Amino acid sequence: MITYRKPPSALRTRSIVFSLISACAAVAFVAAAADTPSRTRRHVEMLASSRLEGRLAGSNGERLAGDYLGAELQRIGVKPLPGQRDFRLPFEFTAGTKDGGSTITLAREMPGGARALSFSDNGDVSGPVVFAGYGIVVPESQDFGYDSYATLDVKDKIVLVLRYFPEDADQKTRAILARYADLRYKAMAARQHGAKAMLVVTGPRSPNAGELAPMSFDTALAGSGIVAASVTGAVGHALFAGVQGKTLEDAQKSLDSANPHVAGFELPGVTARVHAAVEREKRTGHNIVGYLPATTPVATISKPWVAIGAHYDHLGHGEAGNTLAGKEDAGKIHFGADDNASGSAAVLDIAATLAKQPRRRHVLVGFWSGEELGLIGSSAFAAKPPLPLDTLAAYLNFDMVGRMQDNKLTIQATGTSPSWAKLIEQANIAAGFDLLLQTDPYQPTDVATFNLSGVPCLGFFTGTHADYHKPSDTADKIDYEDLDRVADLAAAIVRRLEDAVDAPQFTKVEQQTPPGGGRAGARVFTGTIPDYSTDVKGLLLSGVIGGGPAEQAGLQKGDVIVEIAGQSIANIYDYTYALDVLKIGEPANVVYMRAGERKETTLTPSARK
């Protein structure tokens, strides 16, 4: 294929004669280009086919996609990594939760009356029951006084709370209360106030009145540190049976204006026993990884590996909770042509190009699964790398590179090495893209994993679009000509990395404070990078942002935060909530575990727009 540079539109209009000639030439060219089969199309069409059912991590569709990628790698001449039998590198993850037989017993057991919440701790709890309204606590920093526990003593008791938030509140109030109405927040608030279990009832005045709450797919693996279950409307009414002159509906009605002064109350003489059993369904996902060995000895080469990679998993039928499909498309196959069959196709194509060329360094070719569930696959690879990651000279990531607009290509994470700008510019001379370079490596894709491992990296991206995370992200919408061009540019960059005597130097990117990041409306920034793929109790750090508050406080990768500003932290949700308690510029006490030892430090949050 000839190297093609897309001419800027202004040129064509200038001279009539020229335009006629160029029009003929352009038509001839497009015809020629159209005739030249795209190298990446068949990969995208296969990966985004309905047979692969949206390639959800751990599913049959993922396995079929892995088979296809493995066969293509073999065809290209890629080998399994040293010490590996084949390309498949398995990793285990929690793919879902289901109820393992939870029960609720008042005077007698009420069959089918309870279902555990997905983040509940397993266990048996019995005790007196206190009605705590909607169970919402809005942090003071939000300047909106609402605390369902203000007048209650729930220590060592079971709290009963209503699901959702006050039904008749005005728009502004709803917006604030909705933020703290997530059941995980309610469980954390109940735990913070010393309750030993939380029961949630869907009030008679709410949507889905009386129904049990579904066991949502919850990627945060760590439990919530409390037994938590939803109960039916019948159980709710039974709990209120002993309350004189007040039904559950009356109680909800009095709360629904969102008047913060309407308090909860003890349910006289009512005790309950709740048995919560959550079964976490473990599944195995597979990264597909191989390499093209160097064609000359590498003994004298610094960092003898260059890596290219892309995630190949997607959303399946949208069952993992991160779909943006509308009601009419709910449950349909999310084909994921751009996200990320396009990136996977680019990686296959780059590997095929490099396989035909001499190589001074080994080229690692990686396809990660579980990216859509929180970078789980690439994190598993980085946590137990089959080769030392400090022997990687660089890593190039491709995520959504199939829907280019106006010749625009974004290359992210360029701040991870001073070598990138010049290297990219040189390689782009032939390619002719309108480049947008972004220094920030803290992106919501696998490039972030390699940045955290101290590897100079780049992320290729052609921008989001209306079909993102919907079934409509289909293969017919991919611009294959541009996708092939992206692969060409990347192969040229890898070529230069291959030939470079010295490996690019790694730079830890400092936090980028957005221009005009004033205090008004600013949200706190702590500079921590949570590890989403762990079930450790507390917040495990997979890194800290260079120059950020956490680094200044002496926190580091591997530390587990268990308390911040007096708020105990059992998981990522507790931490997100605690961020709202913190104030910009106000020092906060942090308790954390390092190598099993309990330590304390002071962290002063800064502003983030």
- Residue numbers at the binding site for Zn ion (CB under 5 A): 339-340, 399
- Closest distance between Zn ion and the C-beta of residue 511, in Å? 24
Q: Is 21 helix (H, G, I), strand (E, B) or coil?
A: helix
Nearer residue to Zn ion within complex by CB, 446 or 531: 446
- Closest distance between Zn ion and the C-beta of residue 447, in Å? 11
Q: Cβ contacts of residue 210 below 8 Å, gap of 6+?
A: 201, 202, 204, 232, 233, 234, 236
- Closest distance between Zn ion and the C-beta of residue 399, in Å? 5
Closest residue to bound Zn ion by CB: 339
Nearer residue to Zn ion within complex by CB, 340 or 344: 340
What are the two backbone dihedrals, phi and then psi, of residue 395, each rounded to the nearest 5 degrees? -135, 130
CA angle 589, 590, 592 (to 5 degrees): 155
Nearer residue to Zn ion within complex by CB, 339 or 551: 339
- Closest distance between Zn ion and the C-beta of residue 374, in Å? 12
Nearer residue to Zn ion within complex by CB, 334 or 608: 334
Q: For the chain, how big is the Rg over CA atoms in Å?
A: 28
Structure tokens at 591: 């308790």
Nearer residue to Zn ion within complex by CB, 103 or 342: 342
Nearer residue to Zn ion within complex by CB, 184 or 334: 334
What are the two backbone dihedrals, phi and then psi, of residue 372, each rounded to the nearest 5 degrees? -70, -15
- Closest distance between Zn ion and the C-beta of residue 476, in Å? 19
Nearer residue to Zn ion within complex by CB, 218 or 399: 399
Q: Is 14 helix (H, G, I), strand (E, B) or coil?
A: coil
End-to-end CA distance of the chain: 46
Report which DSSP code applies to 396: E
What are the two backbone dihedrals, phi and then psi, of residue 142, each rounded to the nearest 5 degrees? -90, 0
Nearer residue to Zn ion within complex by CB, 446 or 481: 446
Strand partners, 525: 606
Cis peptide before 60 (omega within 30 of 0): no
- Closest distance between Zn ion and the C-beta of residue 601, in Å? 36
Structure tokens at 136: 């919402």
Rounded CA-CA distance 370/313 in Å is 6
- Closest distance between Zn ion and the C-beta of residue 400, in Å? 6
Nearer residue to Zn ion within complex by CB, 473 or 482: 473
Burial (Cβ within 10 Å: 0-12, 13-18, ≥19) of residue 42 = middle
Rounded CA-CA distance 131/200 in Å is 10
- Closest distance between Zn ion and the C-beta of residue 541, in Å? 24
The alpha-helical segments, DSSP class H, found in 233-375 are 233-240, 248-255, 343-355
Rounded CA-CA distance 491/546 in Å is 30
Nearer residue to Zn ion within complex by CB, 467 or 498: 467
Residue 286 near residue 56, CB atoms below 8 Å: no
Written in H, E and C, the secondary structure of 546-569 is ECCHHHHCCCCCCCEEEEECCEEC
- Closest distance between Zn ion and the C-beta of residue 412, in Å? 13
Q: Which position has the token pair 């335009």?
A: 19
- Closest distance between Zn ion and the C-beta of residue 468, in Å? 9
- Closest distance between Zn ion and the C-beta of residue 69, in Å? 16
Q: How far is CA 505 from CA 162, 234, 310, 569, 606, in A?
A: 55, 65, 23, 37, 29
- Closest distance between Zn ion and the C-beta of residue 119, in Å? 25
The total number of residues shown for the chain amounts to: 609
Nearest CA-CA partner of 362 in 399, 397, 381, 388: 388
Rounded CA-CA distance 447/374 in Å is 12
Nearer residue to Zn ion within complex by CB, 91 or 180: 91
Nearer residue to Zn ion within complex by CB, 167 or 339: 339
Structure tokens at 395: 């890593």
Nearer residue to Zn ion within complex by CB, 169 or 447: 447
Rounded CA-CA distance 324/317 in Å is 11
- Closest distance between Zn ion and the C-beta of residue 141, in Å? 34
- Closest distance between Zn ion and the C-beta of residue 532, in Å? 15
Strand partners, 363: 292, 306
Nearest CA-CA partner of 130 in 102, 160, 151, 103: 160
Nearer residue to Zn ion within complex by CB, 45 or 339: 339
